[in-house]
A and B are shown apart, each in its own frame.
Chain A
Amino acid sequence: MAGSSGKNINVTIKVWRQKNKNQKGQFETHEMKGVSTDMSFLEMFDVLNERLITEGKDPVAFDHDCREGICGMCSMYINGRPHGPKQGVTTCQLHMRSFKDGDIIVVEPWRSAAFPVIKDLAVDRSSFDRIMAAGGFVSVNTGNAKDANNILIPKDDADEAFNAAACIGCGACVAACKNASAMLFVSAKVSQLALLPQGQVEREERVLNMVKQMDAEGFGNCTNTGACEAECPKGISLENIARMNREYIHASTIANRK
């Protein structure tokens, strides 16, 4: 088998159960015996759910889709850390080889006022879509573009814009932050477009509108603890927040002048 460590372990899962956003939730404990360490964390939940269904119980609802770390849909808060103990991965890429025999694993949903719980571990992140709709774009209609190589972009700028654009919008930054701030998410998009020539025309308007929407959604403020960067599965840098602050101050001053 591919890199099989071939081991089986026993773990205890304490998982948050909540019927819907209006009801109170509580933890529920499940013993998981003989879990293969080659299994992904979500596959361990598949096994748990399979068992719950066979026993006539309600399976644990959780969000997931691509299971290869790119769609940003999975969102578990595992032992106090978004996406679990491993650096730079999403929950779907976390494997049971990151745990030891006898471990107790506590699994909660993202916790933020701006991410209400839908059921169990699934939360509503539509606030992110609304922030994007407020300004996370270049206003260019289909069919108006000039030849792609007419825009020269220094490789370093393109690479840095790409690093910011690698954000998957999972919300781990919000879940990790004691203030439930969405600054890392918002600043990643602001940065990407501020670094590229295509984004210059709407640069000021963009940052003002996105920040305004972010505040309206009820996300907290940034107090520079850096938890977001530490927990981001895509390694989005805190520098983006600094850049967004600079963009914001610049745009505010310009707006005042106008």
Chain B
Amino acid sequence: MASSPKLDSKIPDGPLDQKWTKYRSTVALVNPANKRSLEVIVVGSGLAGAAAAASLAELGYKVKVFCFQDSPRRAHSIAAQGGINAAKNYQNDGDSVYRLFYDTIKGGDYRAREANVHRLAEVSGNIIDQCVAQGVPFAREYGGLLSNRSFGGTQVQRTFYAAGQTGQQLLLGAYSALQRQVGMGAVKLYARHEMLDIVNIDGKCRGIIARDLVSGKLERHFGHAVLLCTGGYGNVFFLSTNAMGSNVTAAWKAHKKGAFFGNPCYTQIHPTCIPVSGDHQSKLTLMSESLRNDGRIWVPKKKEDAEAIRTGKLNPNNLKEEDRDYYLERRYPAFGNLVPRDVASRAAKERCDAGFGVNATGQAVYLDFAFNMKYKYGKIEATKKGIENPTEAQLEEFGHAVVKEKYGNLFDMYEQITGVNPYKNPMQIYPAVHYTMGGLWVDYNLMTTVPGLYALGEANFSDHGANRLGASALMQGLADGYFVIPYTIGAYLANEIRTKPIALDHEGFVKAEQDVQNQIQKLLNIKGTKSVDYFHKRLGKVMWDKCGMARNAEGLKWAIEEIRKIRDEFWKDLRVPGEANEFNPELEKAGRVADFLELGELMCKDALERNESCGGHFREEYQTEEGEAERDDANFSYVAAWEMKELGNWELHKEELKYENIKIAQRSYK
């Protein structure tokens, strides 16, 4: 298979481990005087956006940052709990750049680009250095050195963390760097602004149309380049671990104006989330993967025990050890509870579908800390205290303190939401939509198929293949923002130094603003009977049932028809209260859901086209006898990049994935 001529990935020549070093030293530069006259628009202020904006401003570019929240510090990167990977090998346990690269490619089920992933692994160490220099308070050992823990899909300890609030601390670090530039006047901040379209002029992206969410006014902004750092699209499922405002609009508007969408069907379903409790549910909450370091996942061995637990007749704490099925340890002894997310999620679904689920809905499994709390940490602490034969109560007391120190905030969060004390009872968990590996197709420079338009972080498709490993999202967002784009943007901007800012009354801006205005009026003028959430929930259910953890051709075909129907109804019967020229959260939601209703169709189409199972994409027709995902490397070792011709009509372009440094194999965690 040869790659489509429309997809030039611009991967540098040379040996894998020298590509980035060489490229970085030879890519075109922009001299400091010229940087001051080049304007860069950054949309989104999460890890990728804040890091990119701060770093580019430090270099001298004129930067504008847009975010829909009231402050850049609120971007959803803030909610990442567990940690960030880096190949520092501080633990002397055999880690290296190559091993992080290898784990990431394998974890992604051999559907990521080698050169990008290797670059990611190479800069991973710099990220930790940078964050520490900013004052990010990572967890430390008593000797003052940084502490590490393990995440899924790896056998080394390379994850850096700050309790269960790693994303918060990293984002506040990037935010502080950003605010420093704001204070110096190098970055102009537009909070409570939402990008509603890109502006292309003469084949290049030259700016955006944004709506001031407080006044409702539309604004035109020019940029020599535009960076979309707008996160993922998990909210297409309505229920996800994403923030309520997380959306696909920026990426989708870019897609409609020429940016190809890569692997839209690759969705990450995270195995350990708090189960759905009722119809009122507005979002799902993750329990960090780091909990799988010490929590053991199980369901009852016997169906009658599961039934008794579901109806409240049996307390799970009283179920004997031999009657418990630690199914991950049973099926995957080499990785046990730390298998990658896609594997753990499917295994939970399999047990629940088979009738072993443990809550009233039958859609939950246990994540149990009792064993390690007592017999791992309790024992260590007892030994430290010189107690030779500790009682069970002592073990529990000592272990409790250690677990509290390690995971306290997560345990508190669990109790606030469920009203159940997880120190005394095993947590109930179930998989939920968490992350989207798919996103805008980008080349090695992180540029989309629209010249001058870039996508960074979760918004692009590039580094995680068909499944992202835990603690790798923070790494990628910061890598793109701090250490990749500051170099690669030079390749484009070096040729733009003669481009004068385009006047905002240029017809390109006028027309784009008019289109946005028309869409807003159209939404307000429907004056139907149903709320935005009504349609969003319907879409979410179709996506979860047919394009979620397990997919099949028949279901996907049905889903595409169904989504089209919901979309038609949306545009006939939606009710958006209020006006365009005021603070109007329902209007914001309506615009976002309108885009989800289009994206959903493409996700199903992509899932239907990919006749194999890989990573988070599990097609029921393609599985091994043991129920594992079965890839088809001969036919599907490519990135699917979709070009939109018109709504409902997409052309597929393929970028061949070549593995020159890794022996491609069936993934095994057994």
A window 125-144: CB within 8 A of B: 125-126, 128-129, 132-144
Cα distance, A215 to B274, chains bound together (Å): 43
- CB of A53 within 8 A of CB of B575, answer yes
- How many angstroms from the CA of A151 to the CA of B146 in the assembled complex? 9
Interface status of A162 (Cβ within 8 A of chain B): yes
Looking at B140, B286, B420, the one whose CB has the most chain A CB atoms below 10 A away is B140
| Contacts A2-B277, A67-B283 given; does A142 touch B486 at CB 8 Å | yes
Determine the distance from Cα of A162 to Cα of B58 in the docked complex, in whole angstroms. Answer: 27
Which B residues lie within 8 Å of A238 (CB)?
A: none
CA distance A184 to B432 in the complex (A): 36
B183 within 8 Å of A (CB atoms): yes
Indicate with 1 or 0, residue by residue over A91-104, a CB within 8 angstroms of chain B CB atoms. Answer: 00101010000000
Q: How far is the CA of A187 from the CA of B280 in the complex (A)?
A: 39
The proximity string for A residues 1-15 relative to B, scoring 1 for CB distances below 8 Å and 0 otherwise, is: 111110000000000
Q: How far is the CB of A183 from chain B (nearest CB, A)?
A: 19
Stretch in contact with the other chain, from A41-49, A174-182, A217-225, A245-253: A41-49
CB <8 Å contact, B58 and A73? no
| CB-based nearest B residue for A135 | B183
Q: Contact: A126 with B70, CB < 8 Å?
A: yes
* Closest CB in chain A relative to B557 CB, distance in Å: 32
In the complex, A148 has a CB within 8 A of chain B:
yes
- In the assembled complex, the CB of A232 is this many whole angstroms from the nearest CB of chain B, namely 14
Interface range, B side:
35 or more
Chain A residues, Cβ within 8 Å of B23:
none
Q: Which of B73-81, B102-110, B314-322, B559-567 contacts A (4 or more CB under 8 A)?
A: B73-81
Find out whether the CB atom of A162 lies under 8 angstroms from the CB atom of B137: yes
Known: A118-B583, A192-B137. A148 touches B176 (CB 8 A): no
Contact A53-B78, Cβ < 8 Å, known A70-B168, A93-B413, A158-B138: no
Question: How far, in whole Å, are A173 and B180 apart by their CA atoms in the complex?
Answer: 24
Partner of A65, one of B145, B163, B243: B243
Dominant secondary structure at the A interface: loop
Q: In the complex, are the beta carbons of A143 and B69 less than 8 A apart?
A: no
Q: When the two chains form their complex, are residues A36 and B71 in contact, meaning their CB atoms are under 8 A apart?
A: no
Contacting residue for A162 out of B70, B169, B214, CB 8 A = B169
Cross-chain contact A20 with B283 (CB below 8 angstroms): no
* Contact A136 to B176, CB < 8 A, known contacts A47-B280, A148-B88: yes
Q: Are A50 and B533 in contact (CB under 8 A)?
A: yes
Q: A242 on the interface (CB 8 Å rule)?
A: no
Q: Residue B244 at the A interface, CB < 8 A?
A: yes
Q: Known contacts being A65-B245, A149-B90, is A59 close to B129, with CB within 8 Å?
A: no
Chain B residues whose C-beta falls within 8 Å of the C-beta of A53 in the assembled complex: 531, 575, 577, 586
Any chain A CB within 8 A of the CB of B496? no
Q: Which residues of A contact B (CB under 8 A)?
A: 1-5, 19-20, 36, 38-40, 42-44, 46-47, 49-50, 52-54, 56-59, 61, 63-73, 88-89, 93, 95, 97, 118-119, 122, 124-126, 128-129, 132-149, 151-155, 158-159, 161-162, 165-166, 168-169, 192-193, 196, 198-199
25 inter-chain pairs at a CB distance below 8 angstroms, sorted by A residue, are A1-B361, A2-B420, A5-B419, A47-B280, A56-B577, A57-B577, A65-B69, A66-B79, A67-B285, A70-B79, A71-B243, A124-B214, A138-B133, A140-B177, A143-B126, A146-B129, A148-B132, A149-B88, A153-B140, A159-B140, A161-B135, A165-B169, A196-B135, A198-B134, A198-B135
New A-B pairs, 18, CB < 8 Å, besides A66-B76, A129-B191: A1-B359, A1-B361, A2-B417, A38-B277, A56-B577, A63-B70, A67-B244, A71-B78, A95-B417, A124-B214, A129-B189, A140-B177, A142-B177, A145-B133, A148-B129, A149-B88, A151-B132, A152-B145
